[in-house]
Amino acid sequence: LLLMSSAYIAIGIFASSITRNQIAAFIMALLICVCFHFLFGILAAGSTGLVSEIFDTLSLTSHYDSITRGVIDSKDLIYFISLTAIGLFLAEYMVSKRN
Most confident region among 4-18, 36-50, 52-66 by mean pLDDT: 4-18
What does the pLDDT average to over 66-80?
A: 89
> Domain spans of the chain?
2-98
- Comparing CA positions, the residue from 83, 89, 86 lying closest to residue 7 is 83
Least confident of 26-35, 36-45, 79-88: 36-45
Cα gap 44→55, rounded to integer Å: 5
Each residue's pLDDT tens digit, 15-35: 999 998 999 999 999 999 988
pLDDT band per the 50, 70, 90 thresholds, residue 12: very high
pTM score, whole prediction: 0.82
Cα gap 37→20, rounded to integer Å: 25
Cα gap 19→57, rounded to integer Å: 29
